Amino acid sequence: MSPPAAPEPFFVADRAAWRAWLVANENTHDGVWLVMAKKGTTVPTTLTYAEALEEALCSGWIDGQRRSRDDTTFLQRFTPRRARSIWSKRNVETIARLEAEGRLRDRGRAEVARAQEDGRWDRAYAGPATAEVPAELAETLAQEPAAQAAFAALTGSDRFSALFPILTAATDATRARRIDALVARLRECTG
């Protein structure tokens, strides 16, 4: 089996060009691998990641995978938001600001409305720096000292990876199953 083909890079000169492309293509294109300049350079684009994300959110799009490209650029995947995609609290806050500034476009508003209607908006997850251990998990860990010690020993990124499925659970039953599974894995780490 041959390796997957390298993604086709998509270039824009600046924020205005990215916005114009999104306005023209937000409803008809399935995504792009946008070429982004690394910090400290503006070649081949002056578009920053934060600007690219804001414009994408305005169009109902979202960022995805990031891939290395070369010494001065990387590729960032941007796609239309899918029907069941989860929201981060950071993006919820950004959307509120963009709407207040009058920058959110119809497609972006439609994605927000859909997320509000089906509950994804209220279930937005906190990022790695602000994610808190859910009370149910803390209570379960308190009853399992070995699992609690294993959890406390996790690095920040491993901790967030462990919490993410719990934080994004759509139902209490799913959250409980995921907590049980995590505690079982943590117990195995100590055994």
- Provide the pLDDT for residue 4: 66
Question: Count of domains in the chain?
Answer: 2
- Provide the pLDDT for residue 114: 97
Residue 130 forms part of a structural domain: no
Residue 2 forms part of a structural domain: no
Query: Block means of pLDDT (10 residues each) for the chain, length 191 residues?
Result: 76 98 96 95 94 98 96 97 95 98 98 96 93 96 95 95 94 96 91 61
- Provide the pLDDT for residue 3: 63
- Provide the pLDDT for residue 91: 98
Residues 162 and 51: their CA atoms lie apart, in Å, by 30
Q: Which amino acid is at 133?
A: V
The domain of 167 spans: 135-190
Residue 127 forms part of a structural domain: no
The per-residue DSSP string of 111-175 comes to HHHHHHHHTTTTTPBP-TTT----HHHHHHHHT-HHHHHHHHTS-HHHHHHHHHHHHT-SSHHHH
- Provide the pLDDT for residue 1: 66
Would you state the structure tokens that stand for residue 124, as one six-digit string? 């937005």
- Provide the pLDDT for residue 7: 82
The pTM for the full model equals 0.85
Residue 79 forms part of a structural domain: yes
- Is 108 in the same domain as 27? yes
